[in-house]
Amino acid sequence: MNDKDKRTGLLLAALAAIFFGLSSITAKLASTNAGGNGISIAFYRNLSVLPVLAIILKVKGYGFKLTRKQLIALFFIGMTCGGLTAMLLYLSYEYISVGLTLCLHFTYPAIVALVYALFFKQKLTKIQGCSLLLACLGIWVMMFGGLEANPVGLILALLSAVAYSSYLIITDKSGIRELTGFKISFYNTLFGTVFLFIFGKIFGYSFGECRPAGWIWLFLTGLMVVCIGNVMTPEAVKRVGPTVTGILGILEPITSLVCSILLLNEPLTPRTLAGGLLVLVSAFLITLGDHKKSSAKES
């Protein structure tokens, strides 16, 4: 791999993380301006950009054909990423700040490491063990170190991390990396949309009319998540690998936290800052440790 590809990969990974972080702000603005609930916001976000992805697949000649194995994998990816993760994140915004939500969401690297250790017999390294302890400490500081935030929102944010961890594990084990990012994003969004609609109807959530001002923020959110972030990330992984992409992913909660303070005037308590930093250090150490491990294997 040449230096140009590496630089492109680093740029794509950084931009994807920044766009993901910005999308949390537009999602909050969509919720404020559109009305509705976290499920309807996630549903309309997906629905608003599905035609864009379909046109891109058609124009670029990627087509819509999948093998049976790919279809099954993308079905579960859509449920866990395009459906559950988005739903839980947006529902948590109704109870706690965007910055706090994203900090808790970023416990997912520690959750992935724990799942691989428990169910796939991968031995935890010292760095991973320390990272898990830091993540747990960060969660404790934010949730129980003097409970200032709504516990429902905190639990929803943590469940979003569990859902996203499931998505990453399914992606890793399903062998769909050969698919283009646009195709993965299209089916992720399609199956996520179907899941959100069925889930919302079963549990009695309203899909009432979205106010015109809300559609602008919904479309911008979908554009940044589905058409930009979800497409850039697989391309970055191809060029610099998943661990480097994961390290640069730390820019997501940092972008979200800074923008939520500057643009949404959300409060930042010392407890939130301390707990968030512990979680981010945990995520950084795990991805850095994985990078060192993979580099040692290559040498």
**DSSP result, 1-22:** --HHHHHHHHHHHHHHHHHHHH
Confidence of residue 196 (pLDDT cuts 50, 70, 90): very high
In the predicted structure, residue 298 carries a pLDDT above the cut 90: no
In the predicted structure, residue 19 carries a pLDDT above the cut 80: yes
Q: Are the C-beta atoms of residues 232 and 251 closer than 8 Å to each other?
A: no
Give the residue from 154, 149, 164 showing the smallest Cα distance to 104.
154
36 DSSP assignment: S
Burial class (CB in 10 A: 0-12, 13-18, 19+), 242: buried
In the predicted structure, residue 83 carries a pLDDT above the cut 80: yes
Q: What is the pLDDT of residues 134-191, one digit of tens each?
A: 888 888 777 665 446 688 998 999 999 999 888 888 877 887 777 887 898 899 999 9
Residue type, position 33, single letter: N
Confidence of residue 295 (pLDDT cuts 50, 70, 90): low
Taken in order 30, 34, 39, 40, the sign of the CA dihedral is negative
Give the residue from 22, 41, 32, 15 showing the smallest Cα distance to 253.
22
Mean pLDDT score across all residues of the chain: 83
CB neighbourhood size of 10 (10 A): 17
Q: How many CA atoms lie within 13 A of 124 on its CB side?
A: 20
Q: What is the pLDDT of residues 223-275, one digit of tens each?
A: 898 888 877 887 787 787 666 776 777 788 888 888 888 888 887 778 778 88
- Rounded CA-CA distance 170/92 in Å is 24
- Rounded CA-CA distance 164/80 in Å is 6
Tell me the CA distances in angstroms from 95 to 2, 13, 34, 164, 292, one per residue in order: 47, 30, 17, 20, 38
In the predicted structure, residue 7 carries a pLDDT above the cut 80: yes
Q: What is the 3-state secondary structure (H, E, C) of 234-273?
A: HHHHHHHCHHHHHHHCCHHHHHHHHHHHHHCCCCCCHHHH
Q: What is the pLDDT of residue 278?
A: 87
- Rounded CA-CA distance 119/166 in Å is 13
Q: In sequence order, which residues have a C-beta less than 8 Å from that of residue 37 and are 6 or more positions away?
A: 91, 94, 205, 206
Please count the residues of the chain.
299
Confidence of residue 193 (pLDDT cuts 50, 70, 90): very high
